[in-house]
A and B are shown apart, each in its own frame.
Chain A
């Protein structure tokens, strides 16, 4: 009886660990910590701000890529296309589950794409907002 209880406790806790702290959640938590350090008034990420970031035509990086939507398209649920014609999976998590499962890969693309659109790296706040946006779609 005791063993069974212990076993189900282990099963339950590992299950909740798996569901509550996947790589994406851990990465978001790390961004939140950094955002809070940068601005103590930080009160959580916003999908609305993330969407704004996604659709704004900044034009501060490469002339060919003024906005995220240049390559990713206007609808986060449909696929995008690079300037050299390569297919890009939809950014919306609901259509591309597992797209953000590798934190190093997520960081790599933030670094490249933010530089190409904004002419600088994105802040942890912007990254968190954007992930909240695609996570909500």
Chain B
């Protein structure tokens, strides 16, 4: 809702504080989520998240929420989906180049950021491109899992193991956008995606008439040169099966 979304930006400071409390709670609940199964929680949590954030921010469920770094103005409302600031086409009255009836999302974002304690520092962070495979999935659960995993890694660094192509892709992206990753891990997630986030894709792929029944399972193919040709979906599922959630 446009009015609610502008209200949220005007009260960015309040909403950020509210969210920080909520995030701490979500991270603390990680062991419980893990026991129940992140995969099983995915659908109901995403449903609630969509309803609440949809009303407040016109959230588009990109799955990698960066509201805290964009002054509580959702950048996915920008018709060009810009995650790093306004384009050069903002009109003289501050309205959007593509949709003149709307105020530029990034004018809102910068005003919101100026109201937040660390907003201007965070809006300056270079955000990675959106991972479109995460669209529709819950950002809240991703934050809980990523932050909890980070905490565990800090206490006991994992032993180095062979890196699969999707993992390598994530770590390259996270390295290229290091600051964004550190401050908002859900913007450049490292951990495996929940099965549910890929469920639709999985159904589509296995029922495809173009699917060759004799195709080799992914782990038997050589690592180099893969990942590009067949899309990441299959690799991800293979990896997910191998390394089950803690």
Judge: A and B partners, yes or no.
Answer: no
Partner-B contacts on A (CB < 8 A)? none
